[in-house]
Amino acid sequence: MIRGTVPPTMPRDLHDHYFREAKREGYRSRAAYKLKEIDDRKKVLRRNANVLDAGAAPGSWLQVAWERVRPGGVVVGIDLQAITPFPPDAAIHLIEGDLAEVPDDALLAPVRSPGGAETRFDVILSDMAPATSGDQTIDHHQSVRLARLVIERAPGLLTGGGAVIIKVFEGEAYPELLGEMRTCFKQVKGFKPKASRSISREMYVIGTGFDPSAAAHLTGDTPPPPPRRPKPGPGWSNG
């Protein structure tokens, strides 16, 4: 745990179990427990891995990611909002900006070796959420747009065989999003962690086994291949 880094203001629902746990354990938000539960199931955050966390503020996923990839890993967090810095002994690099606009080189700079050798992220996390409008359909499509943004950036940022964990609000375009992801990830599954409020429509889509050659269509070079057939597993929802 990275101590002494909890910002003075915390999110809603003072009586929430996960909120109290986050405060007790020193996490910046209750969202930490969503990533812990997802990763306990899928084990994508490995020791010494390089991780990009998109939509990282206030920073609880950064804390969880660092706990799991240290001592040799690097975590890069990007958000539209400024993130309170972490102690310098944690290899957590912060970028204030829009994932749609910050170039690959700027995101990858912290994981490049001193000689500048090409290195990519092993995992991309996205808990990005749009500013909610109150209209579920609009919010759903905005969240799918953010999820697609992550997938579109994957060819430039994610290593072959790499993984993504992406939040999306469920709705009519959700099955299509899973189908698109299945064209370039070996396995794609949706998961609703217990720490996610039951009234929330958020789901987390986990894609593993990224195939950069199958993702060429994402950069507009080749047409998309037909979707792979899903393989359902116990406890996992395929939408």
Ligand X SMILES: C[S@@+](CC[C@H](N)C(=O)[O-])C[C@H]1O[C@@H](n2cnc3c(N)ncnc32)[C@H](O)[C@@H]1O
- Active site residues per annotation: 167
* Rounded-to-integer distance, Cα 148 and Cα 200, Å: 20
Beta carbon of residue 200, minimum distance to ligand X (angstroms, whole number): 11
Q: Does 51 bind ligand X (CB under 6 A)?
A: no
Nearest residue by C-beta to ligand X?
Answer: 55
Q: Does 78 bind ligand X (CB under 6 A)?
A: yes
Q: Does 193 bind ligand X (CB under 6 A)?
A: no
Q: Does 128 bind ligand X (CB under 6 A)?
A: yes
Q: Does 98 bind ligand X (CB under 6 A)?
A: yes
Q: Does 55 bind ligand X (CB under 6 A)?
A: yes
Name the residue nearer to ligand X (CB basis): 6 or 214. Answer: 6
* Rounded-to-integer distance, Cα 31 and Cα 214, Å: 32
* Rounded-to-integer distance, Cα 139 and Cα 170, Å: 10
Q: Does 195 bind ligand X (CB under 6 A)?
A: no
Q: Does 77 bind ligand X (CB under 6 A)?
A: no
Strand 121-126 relative to strand 50-54: parallel, antiparallel, unpaired? Answer: parallel
Q: Give me the residues paired with residue 188 across strands.
A: 207
145-164 residues in contact with ligand X (CB under 6 A) are 146
Name the residue nearer to ligand X (CB basis): 108 or 146. Answer: 146
* Rounded-to-integer distance, Cα 142 and Cα 169, Å: 9
Measuring CA to CA, how many Å separate 151 from each of 75, 85, 104, 162, 204? 19, 27, 13, 12, 14
The answer to whether residues 2 and 66 touch, using CB atoms and an 8 Å cutoff, is: yes
List contacts with ligand X (CB under 6 A): 28-29, 31, 54-61, 78-81, 98-100, 127-129, 146
